[in-house]
Amino acid sequence: MSEPSPMTVRTVHLVSEAGWPALQENLSSLARGYATSTGFKPSAGRLLMLPGEGGAPGAALLGVGAEDGFADQPFLLGKLATDLPAGIWRVEGKVDQPTLAMLGFHLGQYRFDRFKTVAREAVSLQPIPGADIARARLVAEAICASRDLINRPANDLTTESLAQAARELGERFRAEVREIIGPELLAENLPMIHAVGAASAHAPRLIDLTWGDSRGPKVTLVGKGVVFDTGGLNIKPENSMLLMKKDMGGAAAALAAAEIIMGLQLPVRLRVLLPIVENSIAGPAFRPGDIFRSRAGTTIEIGNTDAEGRLILCDALKLADEEKPDLLLDFATLTGAARVALGPDLPPFFTEDDALAEAIERVGRAENDPVWRLPLWKPYRAMLDSKSADINNVSSGGFAGAITAAIFLKEFVRNTRAYAHFDIYGWTPSARPGRPEGGEPQAARLAASLVETWLLRKK
């Protein structure tokens, strides 16, 4: 059997239900007969390899559903990256959002192969006319770098390692990076970060990265960086601990958004704050019932040591809020309640700013990075009341866990009006086009585009 030349460019035909009869007539008799014998229907995501001359692999068919375009699955071309044979391919057919489609392909090429010894043959796709290839690659590189961080196990990604990744990113873009480590956190009035990370052999720390034009709008991104969460003394059960390497997904999302913003050279003054800890169990571990005074001066009673993310975030958010940024966003794998409410693919976000909320929803749809607004329902603040302190870190009942966590964080943001909190899952549990199973820095692409298309135009 003859094989295609290594430089042969083969074609993927994008097939809609309406366009399938005409395309079918233009196929060779061999390819047409093969498609008929397999029962090919151009449903969205259906891929069929057609035989070529001499039985060698020829062109391919990719179903796009009822209409030409990718309205429901903008990342549909990500399927080509995983399901086509290695080689060079070109797409023939209508693509409504070529840059987003190419981004889906690049994101679909991702594999976490840090610990793999077998190389994978690559699928290459020629640029789609009209696509901004440089932008698609820039965004894909940022997202895939952050996927790598989330996928790394905790013995490989320690607090030191995550901080090093932030420093390396800063060096690439000539940003200023400051790192506050261990006891220095107490001297710098960041007591909650210190308390949560005190039991680990890997010291807690805060990364403070600044970049850009000091005269531009101030954008601050805060990301939860818990490199592993045992739950502390309120230890998690085994099945809840298996994926806790991803509990630094908020920090990964903040870094991905920052890399896109810096890579696009957006005219802003960017700041990234990453509180980085490991929530471990040892003699210095913080305990249920302990009371700490936060950076804001607010006293916090520890109702549950497994609600540690909001504790490290509250100090970082207070630090961010002190300079009144024009836009403040935080990202955190914060609550299981968010997943119960909206599932793994649709992170909730919280803000009191209706204009910001509308922009977030619009940009999320445009970037295929969807989120859903939940309310900061003020009457639920009473659920966080403490008899011994100003606030408890968990609510008194099992209701509205994502909302009460967001309300807790909002207590520490008083000066910044344009503030939103994203409660992300940080993980794709089952593979889809453009989204392989594993780590995913949700809302990162949205955040970078929000700065570009909303904040800068507003200013």
pLDDT tens, 336-348?
999 999 999 999 9
Q: Is residue 457 annotated as a catalytic residue, yes or no? A: no
Fold type of domain 141-458: Aminopeptidase (3.40.630)
pLDDT at 139: 98
Angle between helix axes 133-151 and 98-108 (nearest 10 degrees) is: 30
pLDDT bucket at 56, cuts 50 / 70 / 90 = confident
Q: Please, which residues have CB within 8 angstroms of residue 285's CB and are 6 or more apart in sequence?
A: 198, 199, 232, 233, 305
Residue pair 49/11 in contact by the 8 Å Cβ criterion: no
Q: Please, which residues have CB within 8 angstroms of residue 286's CB and are 6 or more apart in sequence?
A: 195, 196, 198, 199, 232, 233, 292, 302, 305
Residue pair 333/424 in contact by the 8 Å Cβ criterion: yes
Taking 60 as the threshold, does the pLDDT of residue 392 lie above it? yes
Active-site annotation holder among 310, 410, 435, 445:
310
Q: Which CATH number fits domain 9-96: 3.40.1550.10, 3.40.50.2300, 3.40.220.10, 1.10.10.10?
A: 3.40.220.10
pLDDT at 1: 35
Active-site annotation holder among 94, 135, 236, 362:
236
User: What is the average per-residue pLDDT within 91-110?
Assistant: 95
pLDDT at 277: 98
Judging by beta carbons within 10 Å of its beta carbon (0-12, 13-18, 19+), is residue 313 exposed, middle or buried?
A: buried
Q: Is residue 79 annotated as a catalytic residue, yes or no? A: no
Taking 70 as the threshold, does the pLDDT of residue 315 lie above it? yes
Greater pLDDT, 1 or 68: 68
115 C-beta neighbours (distance < 10 Å), count: 9
Domain spans of the chain, in order of start = 9-96, 141-458
pLDDT at 459: 64
Residue pair 242/125 in contact by the 8 Å Cβ criterion: no
Work out the mean pLDDT of the chain and round it to a whole number: 95
